[in-house]
Structure 1
Amino acid sequence: MIARLICSTICAVAAIVFASTAAHAQTCSFSATDINFGTVDTLGSNATDVSGTITVNCSALLGLLSSISGNINIGEGSGGGDSGARQMTSSSTSTSLNYQLYKDAARTVVLGGDNWVNGESIDLSSFSVLIIGGSGTANVPFYGRVFGAQEGVAPGNYLSSFFRDPIDVRVAYRTCNLLLICTNRTATLTFDVLAQVEKNCLVSATDLDFGTVGVLSSPIDAASQISVTCTAQTDYHIGLDNGLYGMGPLDRYMRSAASDAIRYGLYQDASRSIAWGSLADGAALSGAGSGNTQTYPVYGRVPSQDTPPSGTYADTIVVTITY
């Protein structure tokens, strides 16, 4: 009788210690890669897409962990945002860069959660995180996009950090072991969303056509237009070279197929008093980018001169934006 009582007590104590240890040893850790967009083109219309991975590592004493379920909830990040776009901010500029995080590769379902109503959380059970042998890993992809055509964003390094539990990231999960002992748990993870906007400019120009003329006994004027789009807060210069046959800003020529020539000039002003040349000549025109398209008229003049043989006369000017 005494021996049986002692055995019963010892066995009961051992069972209690074992069950308690198994329940508390079921743990999972969560980590994520950064979403690094690299250098993005804010003047173009195309989006920049990258992806990241959330890694789930689980372990349990004596292989008793059977399953894990729950949700990964992602908030707006330090830059703020809503269902339309999250924002990255820069310490060196006053502008923000719009981006978004998604659950799916098609980038149609915004990644969010119960701590941020503008999206859906990641359901861990969707990735079959079943751990029978005591440990296991699941890699959960998530997706990012920086939207194109953000011309007003100034050059700089942009960042949004996800680190404030539960504001930014909260993992609410439940572990169960083979003895059907389940425990509700919470965890967090951190990652950054980064991008770099560099200075950039786009340029286009219309042809300058002096039309059909007879004798060159008096000046003939015409005008064309240069269109420049530069990132905000970007200083630039517009330079025009001397053409195919010229030797300087005041020494440009159009030529015919027979190599006959007509002298002409290009100017920054309507009165044709400021010649337009290159930055090296000191005759470029300066401007400051706003993110919007800015237009500049080019004023041309064919001065009076001896009239060459009839024909079609042409020259090619290269427009260079230095920024």
Structure 2
Amino acid sequence: MPMTPAPFPRAILLFLIAGLLTLGLAAPARAQSCTFSASNIVLGPVDVLGSSPTTATGNIAVNCSTFLGLLTSITVTIELGDGSAGLFGSLRRLGGPSGSSLAYDLYQNPTHTTIFGGSQGTHGGQPVVLTGSSVLSLLTTTGMNVPVYARIPGAQNAAVPGAYSATFSRQPLDVRATTETCRPVLGCDTRVTGFTFAVQAQVRPNCRVVADDLDFGQHGLLDRPVDATSQVRVTCTAGTSYSLGLGHGLQAAGIGGRQMRDLAGHRVGYQLYRDAARTQPWGLIADGLATTDAGTGVSRAVTVHGRVPPQPTPPPGAYSDTVVVTVTY
């Protein structure tokens, strides 16, 4: 007559299966081990008067634990929001002295065509997504570096000199790093973390100057005053104090002795003035005859009033002189 097996072995079998299931469920938690760190991005010095952009590159380092294993798949998604200074029009904003702003943005590529963004904040753009077997191998061995390309457009003339910055630290408003790992049978696990970095720029005081030629035209006898005007255009960063001076010329012995000459060495005396009445000679700071002003970030035109006084007429010819325009700031 057959014997009924004792229940003890069955109880042992159920206990072992339960133990195996418990060990399997713990594995994904151990696999989720990715860290993120980012370098600050330093732009500058920034020439806000010029049309050329200012660029710099930062880096986000991603490292994941080797516990992920060969059968694991991984997807890392990195998103960047607006930054602490918010937006400046359609671009991100760097905050500066007295509420001044610089527009800039962050990109995924060195040609600055793909904005580094995501679902965080209101800026938009695209997140960086790392996935695939080759990515998994790098993340769990040497780690990966994700470049961040920053660009400040040129011609932001309203920006005053000083330090500008924006930080990315508010999680998830500014930064969000999502790691999803999946293993056969055991399913997927997702973790969200963040990192911090700053974008910094320095705007330095700067001035640019363009001077037109002063042409007295063609004349016969110099028996009466010959007047002419030209312009000097000065552009300085907003709030930057400057002085504008005009030199004595190549032939002059001083302010009162400016002279034009021809190739044979003949000379014609002339003078430059700050006023239309031609009573205030123009000179250098050392002469006490320069003008002073403060920049606004836009070009300011200054009129140069020239006069050739009556004098003995030299032989016919082309007479000229060179005057150096000096802007001190």
Task: State the TM-score, normalizing by the size of structure 2.
Answer: 0.89
Distance 1:220 1:146 in 2: 49
Write the letter of the residue equivalent to 1:68: I
Contact 1:22-1:60 at 8 Å conserved across structures? no
Matched, 1:274 2:280: yes
Structure 2 CA distance for partners of 1:172 and 1:26, relative to 1, 3 Å: closer
From 240, 244, 247, give the equivalent of 1:238: 244
Deviation at 1:47, TM superposition (A): 1.2
Matched, 1:103 2:108: yes
Write the letter of the residue equivalent to 2:63: N
Deviation at 1:23, TM superposition (A): 2.6
Aligned to 1:152: 158
% identical aligned pairs: 44
Matched, 1:193 2:199: yes
Q: Secondary structure at the match of 2:135?
A: coil
1:81-96 to 2 correspondence within 5 Å? 81=87, 84-90=90-96, 92-96=97-101
Distance 2:209 2:138 in 1: 62
Contact 1:163-1:189 at 8 Å conserved across structures? yes
Q: Deviations over 1:168-226 (max 9, x none)?
A: 00112212246644211001011111111111111111111111112222211111100
Gaps of 5+ in 2: 1-5
Contact 1:44-1:148 at 8 Å conserved across structures? yes
Q: Deviations over 1:17-56 (max 9, x none)?
A: 4641553342101111222112111111111222222111
Distance 2:226 2:138 in 1: 88
Write the letter of the residue equivalent to 1:79: A
Aligned to 1:43: 49
Aligned to 2:121: 116
Structure 2 CA distance for partners of 1:65 and 1:136, relative to 1, 3 Å: farther
Aligned-residue Cα RMSD (Å) equals 2.5
Deviation at 1:137, TM superposition (A): 1.2
Write the letter of the residue equivalent to 1:289: G
Distance 2:113 2:36 in 1: 25
- Structure 1 residue ranges, 4+ long, deviating more than 3 angstroms after superposition: 1-15, 60-65, 131-136, 177-181
Aligned length: 322
Distance 2:155 2:135 in 1: 40
Write the letter of the residue equivalent to 1:27: S
Gaps of 5+ in 1: none
Matched, 1:139 2:149: no
Q: Secondary structure at the match of 2:136?
A: coil
Write the letter of the residue equivalent to 1:258: A
Task: State the TM-score, normalizing by the size of structure 1.
Answer: 0.91
Aligned to 2:258: 252
Contact 2:63-2:140 at 8 Å conserved across structures? no
Q: Secondary structure at the match of 2:45?
A: strand
Contact 2:24-2:186 at 8 Å conserved across structures? no
Distance 1:65 1:127 in 2: 10
Contact 1:34-1:191 at 8 Å conserved across structures? yes
Q: Secondary structure at the match of 1:250?
A: helix
Structure 2 CA distance for partners of 1:202 and 1:133, relative to 1, 3 Å: closer
Deviation at 1:109, TM superposition (A): 2.1
Matched, 1:173 2:179: yes
Deviation at 1:84, TM superposition (A): 2.3
Q: Deviations over 1:49-68 (max 9, x none)?
A: 22222111000438467232
Contact 2:88-2:103 at 8 Å conserved across structures? no
Q: Secondary structure at the match of 1:124?
A: strand
Distance 1:16 1:149 in 2: 63
Contact 1:26-1:60 at 8 Å conserved across structures? no
Write the letter of the residue equivalent to 2:74: I
Q: Between Structure 1 and Structure 2, whose CA radius of gyration is higher?
A: 2
Structure 2 CA distance for partners of 1:180 and 1:146, relative to 1, 3 Å: same
Structure 2 CA distance for partners of 1:301 and 1:44, relative to 1, 3 Å: same
Q: Which moved more, 1:36-45 or 1:19-28?
A: 19-28
Aligned to 1:219: 225
Q: Secondary structure at the match of 2:286?
A: coil
Q: Deviations over 1:152-173 (max 9, x none)?
A: 1111111011000011001122
Matched, 1:322 2:320: no
